Chains A and B, each alone.
Chain A
């Protein structure tokens, strides 16, 4: 997580320095309010980050990816769809919830800077990538056989994450890493549970949910199972990925194409 934040911030700053026109920073869903935010430059984002870390980081995490009680803010916003809406929430909070606004004495300027920082965490600016997204789409459906497990816009398999908006939550280098070394960072949702029932039979599948007393999984035949832990003989968590590495199966150029395609799968295009 820390590595990610260290990497992302310089990259974003570099990107932002290339695109100073406010409208270019935030494509759709917030353009109508973007004109109101006059603080969208590189330094504004950096200042916004500073205010965010001081005022918001305790709940939302130092890099906005979620923390003690506050949701992840790097994958879209639940309660605002415009910059004006974000401004209002940052300033005033969300009524009847734990989300309180930043200090009322904060200036409009510093609040807009926080808005710019939050937008930078969800930046969807196009970047020049070496790969060809159209070729990548063909690989996804064909040689890569990705669609057998992954769904995109309603088409595909169920045994991997839905990738319809993966470009919003993963950067290109992270996507490449996901493809080449899938075991490096496996979301617990995609661990495997191996459950030995009292009769000795084994049920194995993707870990959909687990809590103190129970667990739920989907097996290879896409059957859903729910177990009480006290009713099984034993269970194991396998924390490696069920996805094979593309290394050896695809060329470097093909991996680039696939990354370009995956990065193109973003909210505004869905």
Chain B
């Protein structure tokens, strides 16, 4: 009963409402927690139980915001390490754990998941997904997290499967192949639960695959619908691909989307067109690569799209987590989507219609004069890759990338990890061979890493103007979490995990965690104590206030 009481107290303190889970979450202190099934209603109202982190981005609007405020901008200096969990593989971790009623689920490279006691980091069970030894993966053996519905976890695997795993034991419930890994398909992102379905994307944009977003019946694993990210020849938008280039056009969907229950729309980003750097063989806008898609959840039909980078030749995937919020703009409440894109522009878009509202650079860019009234970039000539190399900002890795941005409804600021870098882009001829990389060029940083800098930038989504920035030397590829304690947590490649004041950007606390932070932070509470977790290198660290 102690936990129940403290959870309620925390919930009231943080949000002013009684957590929905308060009626469901009962356990004795020191006793193994027995989590209640995660119903769709709990996911829908995840904001009301901030002691849990129920999905990849925390809530369906993907704000990556924790409603907990026990750790705040006056006591964050008292954070100390509570526990560490060592992942047995050496790969850099990109996981964002999910926490349900004191149980944490951590995904590991290559395609494994463990359940641990969220208060101690000690293991309950593990599931190791069997994998073939001839995987096609461009960019590391990554897995970013699970989704949960009821008592079942859903996880992507590198051989392009979606697996359902019993959340209490780690037993396999079902295993579904989405596509043939031998053709270059893989899966790395956490799925998204919408009602009683599992919405999920795929990876493989460097292998000439053809992208899609699927929705599966959570219980049976049966496919409900598939939304192809490249329209077939019967669709007029197929004309945006020269010849048959659409067949190998990529537009993968390798990061988790968001969902608006009022509009019943699923929002999802799409990746680069293929081949990445040689656009000569796929003239046209290459729809719907590098786009935000709004899909009706019942049917998978596309309600609208917004293409950030038509005819991309720099590998600037629109693989960012869409953040949804309702903002007052020009005296009118707007349902918006906020998006800091890999192409170095920040966008605010009406998420009902897809209308472009605001767009400005948030990181160094040398490829566009700006955006026109529809949000389409006005390209600067001679910025395409070439045989001899063309140097352009942002670099291949983008002004930002897949790691999560955050939004605080308290400050109404959007926080993004920005990188002011550049690359020299090369183009070459390349034939498509199924299962081989199909990129048509490459990029190379022209100077030493120390010549460039990252920064966390706080953007005003109503204007696109930067409110503050915190410089990071030399670089960060970490996601961001904002909290009700008016804190912003993030990390850096030089092995720091740190907290900033969400209002001013002032640094308040940092800790040397030893290896690069290449994931996004999250927060939860057990027995009334708030914890903050981050994966760094191949270790998951959890911090809490000094006892």
- Chain A contacts to B: CB under 8 angstroms: 1-2, 5-6, 50, 53-55, 57-59, 61-63, 65, 67-69, 92, 96-98, 100, 103-106, 187-188, 191, 210-213, 230
Q: By the criterion CB–CB under 8 Å, are A6 and B428 in contact?
A: no
Chain A residues within an 8 Å CB radius of B343: none
Please name 25 pairs of A and B residues whose Cβ atoms are closer than 8 Å in the assembled complex, sorted by A.
A2-B388, A6-B388, A54-B430, A54-B436, A54-B439, A58-B396, A58-B442, A59-B139, A62-B424, A62-B444, A63-B444, A65-B444, A67-B445, A68-B396, A69-B139, A98-B109, A100-B140, A100-B141, A103-B136, A103-B435, A105-B134, A188-B448, A210-B450, A212-B472, A213-B496
Q: Which residue of A lies closest to B397 (CB)?
A: A68
Q: By the criterion CB–CB under 8 Å, are B138 and A58 in contact?
A: yes
Q: By the criterion CB–CB under 8 Å, are A69 and B140 in contact?
A: yes
Chain B residues within an 8 Å CB radius of A103: 134, 136, 435-437
Of B133, B444, B473, which one neighbours A212 at CB under 8 angstroms?
B473
Q: How far is the CB of B494 from chain A (nearest CB, A)?
A: 4
Chain B residues within an 8 Å CB radius of A97: 89-91
- 0/1 per residue, B389-403, Cβ < 8 Å to A? 101000011000000
Closest 8 CB pairs of A and B: A188-B450, A104-B134, A211-B494, A62-B442, A57-B442, A98-B140, A62-B444, A2-B389
Q: How far is the CA of A127 from the CA of B139 in the complex (A)?
A: 38
Q: Which residue of A lies closest to B496 (CB)?
A: A212
Q: By the criterion CB–CB under 8 Å, are A67 and B439 in contact?
A: no
Q: By the criterion CB–CB under 8 Å, are B442 and A53 in contact?
A: yes
Told that A59-B139, A211-B473 touch, could you supply 10 new A-B pairs with CB distance under 8 A? A2-B388, A2-B391, A62-B424, A62-B443, A62-B444, A69-B139, A98-B92, A100-B140, A212-B510, A213-B510
Given contacts A55-B437, A212-B494, A2 and B89 within 8 Å (CB-CB): no
The majority secondary structure among interface residues of chain B is loop
Of residues 199 through 233 on chain B, the ones whose CB sits less than 8 Å from some CB of chain A are: 206
Q: How far is the CA of A67 from the CA of B139 in the complex (A)?
A: 12
Q: Which residue of A lies closest to B493 (CB)?
A: A211
Query: Is B234 located at the chain interface by the 8 A CB criterion?
Result: no
Chain A residues within an 8 Å CB radius of B140: 69, 98, 100
Q: Which residue of A lies closest to B396 (CB)?
A: A68
Q: Which residue of A lies closest to B428 (CB)?
A: A53
User: Which of B88, B391, B439 has most chain A Cβ within 10 Å?
Assistant: B439
Query: Is B307 located at the chain interface by the 8 A CB criterion?
Result: no
Q: By the criterion CB–CB under 8 Å, are B446 and A2 in contact?
A: yes
Q: How far is the CA of A55 from the CA of B135 in the complex (A)?
A: 13
Q: By the criterion CB–CB under 8 Å, are B442 and A96 in contact?
A: no
Q: By the criterion CB–CB under 8 Å, are B135 and A100 in contact?
A: yes
Query: Is B492 located at the chain interface by the 8 A CB criterion?
Result: yes
Of B137, B426, B444, which one neighbours A67 at CB under 8 angstroms?
B444
Query: Is B451 located at the chain interface by the 8 A CB criterion?
Result: yes
Q: How far is the CA of A230 from the CA of B139 in the complex (A)?
A: 36
Chain B residues within an 8 Å CB radius of A211: 473-474, 492, 494-496
Q: Which residue of A lies closest to B135 (CB)?
A: A100
Q: How far is the CB of A61 from chain B (nearest CB, A)?
A: 5
Chain B residues within an 8 Å CB radius of A53: 426, 428, 442
Q: By the criterion CB–CB under 8 Å, are B492 and A212 in contact?
A: yes
Query: Is B447 located at the chain interface by the 8 A CB criterion?
Result: yes
Q: How far is the CA of A230 from the CA of B508 in the complex (A)?
A: 11
Q: How far is the CA of A69 from the CA of B90 in the complex (A)?
A: 13
- 0/1 per residue, B422-436, Cβ < 8 Å to A? 001010101000011
Q: How far is the CA of A50 from the CA of B443 in the complex (A)?
A: 14
Of A1, A187, A188, which one neighbours B446 at CB under 8 angstroms?
A1
